[in-house]
């Protein structure tokens, strides 16, 4: 079987993708010029050469710096559309994208600029490319919970167009427990809840995300594997894990993609999915992530990953069922 061709045509959803992390160097330079923002790199090649990370924080420093070129609604719309074109080319049918409003409001942009621009790009992607999407607002965990509350208040006029809240940025030293109250408030507002946990942080952070944030989905979750009882709990509850192989490699969460734990996760009964995280920084969009781990997986396991991406989404059950039927039809046609 030609695994690459199989992956290319496999209908899939993407559930873990930071839209600011899809800012390609070429677009970053174009927006810098459009907005008169100075970049500390001579050109695209020099910028790309700086994408060498040994831990999450190395990446975050460059990622927040890059986001400074985003100034106007049209910039966010262009950013979103550029991502959706790449996603559509990878046969992504549905994407649930993260954004970091605090990165932009801290620079003086109103919440509305990022939200309206992204929502415009999402609507256009659905119209022009047939890719549906949902928006997830992430709180930056290196900032105080009070700032997250302030962000949630700013988001109020858009809450009918925001599917959920997430928790991202520097994990170590910033446990989920610090955000229990703002996540409770998000729950009262009817929002879904997800959190990055167990990327660099210990299994205890995953437990906090379950017990204190009441998450509907776990982002990364790699270090859950260090705790057998936690693995059993995640498997038993049917928790979806949004795993990001190339991100794990670039941020040294794994030392070799050939030893990535995705196969082990599936064989332990975890509902793992494959995602790109920050594709402009980590060397590939979602299909590149599937291809990176394909040597470790059977064809049936790759189908399971696609199936999990829809069952783990926040789509309504009828939409999930339609997508699952397409996945089954595709898999059957390949036999």
What is the C-alpha separation between 37 and 107, in angstroms, rounded? 13
What is the C-alpha separation between 265 and 39, in angstroms, rounded? 41
Residue among 14, 191, 278, 280 that touches ligand HPA (CB under 6 A)? 278
**Looking at 20, 24, 199, 208, which residue is catalytic?**
199
- How many chain residues are in contact with ligand HPA, going by CB under 6 A? 11
In this structure, are residues 83 and 10 in contact, taking their beta carbons and an 8 Å threshold? no
What is the C-alpha separation between 48 and 144, in angstroms, rounded? 32
According to the binding rule CB under 6 A, does residue 23 interact with ligand HPA?
Answer: no
> Which of ligand HPA, Zn ion, none sits in contact with 162, Cβ below 5 to 8 A by type?
none
What is the C-alpha separation between 50 and 38, in angstroms, rounded? 16
What is the C-alpha separation between 152 and 172, in angstroms, rounded? 23
In this structure, are residues 31 and 69 in contact, taking their beta carbons and an 8 Å threshold? yes
Unique residue bearing structure tokens 């990370």: 53
Site string for ligand HPA, 105-144 (x = CB under 6 A): ----------------------------------------
Site string for ligand HPA, 58-87 (x = CB under 6 A): -----x------------------------
Neighbours of 144 (CB within 10 A): 12
According to the binding rule CB under 6 A, does residue 169 interact with ligand HPA?
Answer: yes
Q: Does residue 179 sit in helix, strand or coil?
A: helix
Strands of 192-197's sheet in order across? 12-18, 92-99, 132-140, 164-168, 192-197, 217-220, 240-243, 271-274
Site string for Zn ion, 268-307 (x = CB under 5 A): ---------x------------------------------
> Of the two residues 206 and 320, which places its CB atom closer to ligand HPA in the complex?
206
Site string for ligand HPA, 238-267 (x = CB under 6 A): ---------x--------------------
> Of the two residues 186 and 327, which places its CB atom closer to ligand HPA in the complex?
186
Q: Does residue 193 sit in helix, strand or coil?
A: strand
Look up residue 129 and give its two tokens.
Answer: 């490319």
In this structure, are residues 273 and 308 in contact, taking their beta carbons and an 8 Å threshold? yes
> Which of ligand HPA, Zn ion, none sits in contact with 199, Cβ below 5 to 8 A by type?
ligand HPA
Look up residue 284 and give its two tokens.
Answer: 């590939």
Neighbours of 333 (CB within 10 A): 8
According to the binding rule CB under 6 A, does residue 21 interact with ligand HPA?
Answer: yes
> Which of ligand HPA, Zn ion, none sits in contact with 169, Cβ below 5 to 8 A by type?
ligand HPA
According to the binding rule CB under 6 A, does residue 168 interact with ligand HPA?
Answer: yes
Site string for ligand HPA, 178-217 (x = CB under 6 A): ------------------x--x------------------
Closest contact distance (angstroms) between CB of 223 and ligand HPA is 13
Active site residue 96: no
> Which of ligand HPA, Zn ion, none sits in contact with 276, Cβ below 5 to 8 A by type?
none
The footprint of Zn ion on residues 217-276 (CB under 5 A) is none
Residue nearest to Zn ion (CB): 277
User: Exposed e or buried b for every residue in 118-137, given b needs 16+ CB within 10 A?
Assistant: bbbbbeebeeebebbbbbbb
What is the C-alpha separation between 129 and 10, in angstroms, rounded? 17
Q: Which residues here bind Zn ion, judged by CB under 5 A? A: 277
Q: Which residues here bind ligand HPA, judged by CB under 6 A? A: 18, 21, 56, 63, 168-169, 196, 199, 247, 277-278
- Catalytic residues, by residue number, are 199
């Amino acid at each position: 079987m030609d695994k690459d061709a199989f992956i290319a045509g496999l209908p899939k959803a993407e559930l873990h993708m930071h839209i600011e992390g899809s800012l390609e160097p070429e677009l970053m330079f174009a927006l810098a010029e459009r907005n008169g923002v100075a970049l500390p790199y001579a050109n695209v090649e020099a910028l790309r050469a700086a994408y060498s990370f040994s831990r999450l924080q190395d990446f975050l420093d460059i990622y927040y710096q890059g986001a400074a070129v985003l100034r106007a609604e049209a910039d966010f719309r262009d950013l979103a559309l550029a991502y959706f074109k790449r996603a559509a080319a990878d046969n992504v049918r549905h994407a649930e994208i993260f954004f970091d409003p605090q990165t932009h409001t801290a620079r003086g942009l109103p919440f509305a600029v990022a939200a309206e621009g992204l929502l415009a790009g999402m609507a256009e992607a659905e119209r022009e490319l047939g890719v549906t999407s949902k928006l997830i607002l992430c709180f930056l965990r290196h900032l105080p919970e009070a700032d997250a509350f302030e962000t949630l208040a700013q988001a109020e006029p858009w809450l009918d167009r925001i599917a959920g809240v997430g928790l991202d940025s520097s994990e170590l030293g910033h446990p989920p427990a610090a955000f229990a109250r703002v996540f409770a408030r998000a729950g009262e507002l009817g929002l879904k809840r997800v959190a990055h946990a167990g990327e660099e942080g210990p299994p205890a952070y995953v437990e906090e995300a379950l017990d204190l944030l009441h998450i509907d989905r776990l982002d990364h979750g790699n270090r859950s594997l260090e705790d057998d009882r936690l693995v059993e709990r995640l498997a038993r509850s049917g928790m979806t894990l949004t795993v990001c192989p190339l991100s794990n490699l670039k941020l040294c969460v794994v030392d070799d993609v050939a030893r990535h734990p995705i196969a082990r996760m599936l064989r332990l009964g975890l509902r793992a999915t494959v995602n790109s995280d920050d594709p402009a920084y980590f060397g590939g969009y979602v299909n590149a992530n599937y291809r990176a781990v394909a040597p470790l997986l059977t064809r049936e396991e790759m189908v399971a990953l696609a199936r999990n991406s829809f069952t783990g989404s926040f789509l309504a059950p009828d939409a999930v069922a339609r997508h699952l039927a397409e996945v089954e039809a595709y898999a059957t046609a390949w036999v």
